[in-house]
Chains A and B, each alone.
Chain A
Amino acid sequence: MNPLELAGARPGPAFTVTFDGRPVEALPGQTVAAALWAAGVTSWRSTRSQGRPRGVFCGIGVCFDCLVTVNGLPNRRACLVPVRPGDVIATQDGTGQEEACHAD
């Protein structure tokens, strides 16, 4: 048994996104976190001060531990953001803004 079988799911066609450059299969309707979990990935952020790995904790958008960079935008909550075909998902280091947002 798996969760999809349990719920009798007949999802739309799977699509591909990338996580840190490698392809990951995702299903329509899944959040970024669900897609990553289904692919066996449990961490996608390293903390600001200790550089420790983090992933989903509260699963409902309250704890902000699952922050991730999606299509160049940092600090997205993976447990809330729906995954979309072609998404480029990247492990977020620290604030996730070290390179983004220049003055020019």
Chain B
Amino acid sequence: MSESLTCDVVVVGAGVVGAATALYAGRAGLDTVVVDRGPVAGGTTGAGEGNLLVSDKEPGPELELALLSSRLWAALAREGLGRAVEYEAKGGVVVAGTDRALAGLEKLAAEQRAAGVEAVPVPPDALTDLEPYLAPGLAGGMHYPQDAQVMPALAAAHLLRASKARVLTGREVTGVLRGPDGAVRGVRTDRGVLHAPAVVNAAGTWGGEVAARAGVSLPVLPRRGFVLVTEPLPPRIRHKVYAADYVADVASDSAALHTSPVVEGTPAGPVLIGASRERVGFDRSLSLPALRALAAGATGLFPFLAGVRALRTYAGFRPYLPDHLPAIGPDARAPGLFHACGHEGAGIGLATGTGHLLAQVLSGRTPDLDLFPFRPDRFTEEAE
């Protein structure tokens, strides 16, 4: 079946970022079509834990985006989407095993507070009030009430439905149409052409490929992560709980395996254990060393987990850019081309802010945040 469609915006990618972009673009009155070569949430979204975190971000543009996104997620939840996407404003607890780690955590929290983050110190003897099953002997921690959680695949599917956009799954974008002036005119797919004056690259880990099809370079690379999923349990872990070293791992440039555990319960019962990070390309094969490290970290935080069984594990690929900031906004090299990808492990959380800002740009308004740090062509400039 081949068809030709005309609309205001084509969003490439039916993950959570594409879905949020479609939602806010639709609300801005733009006729939007979402196209994906796979199903809804078929890429990194489907492999995500659903972290909506402010706690793991250092002050700067990403934290500003996270705070905006956090407010937008909460607003969507209030509008009635909360239940469908399993939104839980559960808060995060970051723990430190040593006084040194605690000092680092306190310093970070002080900077975050200045940027508008709520960060409440938790003395060691009060940790078990927040998390009764935590290991004894921790040096202390920090409570971040703004951290929250959604079920990522449900979030993508329900944001797409709420967007009222036309969603074309199983259809691959094979090229981006450019006019004689270089301006984007739409996309070519394996089943017809979609005409539009604006194309949004929300292809996540595959965003580099989509950019290449538009004739521009965007150095998105995969960073593999494993998640361990346990047997269903009664609610025992109330917050997102992770060790203070996590922030260092997130910001790390190293290709080697990093694992600092992020442990959380889910409404359905299983406990999720993330978040290994390693740069090994698109290799999905099982890595027992990564899983052992995750299990060791998680049982270190919550000793009762040692007797709990892992039912499954899966790998996902976080899309990252060299400076660990996403690409958001218009691409000066191809008028009409916009990017919304490269969110690394924070794409679920940052999706709402990203979609909101893009919708503002697409409809000719001034975005709520300065998009300069996220400009997609910033790597080309460095190369020059």
Contacts and interface: CB of A to CB of B under 8 A. Distances in A.
**Interface centre among B134, B231, B236, by most A CB within 10 Å?**
B231
A97 B128 CA distance: 20
Contacts of A75: 231, 309
Contact of A48 (B269, B304, B307): B269
A103 B234 contact: no
Contacts of A103: 128, 132-134, 304
A90 B128 CA distance: 31
B232 interface: yes
B100 to A, nearest CB: 26
A94 B269 CA distance: 10
**For chain B, what secondary structure do more than half of its interface residues adopt (helix, strand, loop), or is it mixed?**
loop
Given A48-B269, A95-B269, A101 B304 contact: yes
Contacts of B133: 103
Nearest to A104: B132
A48 B232 CA distance: 9
Interface in B227-258: 231-234, 236
A101 B132 contact: no
Interface string A62-89: 0000000000000100000000000000
A74 to B, nearest CB: 10
A69 B17 CA distance: 44
Given A48-B269, A95-B269, A101 B307 contact: yes
A97 B134 CA distance: 17
A98 interface: yes
15 contacts: A48-B232, A48-B269, A75-B231, A75-B309, A95-B232, A95-B234, A95-B269, A97-B234, A98-B234, A101-B304, A101-B307, A103-B132, A103-B133, A103-B134, A103-B304
4 closest cross-chain pairs (CB), A and B: A103-B133, A103-B132, A98-B234, A101-B304
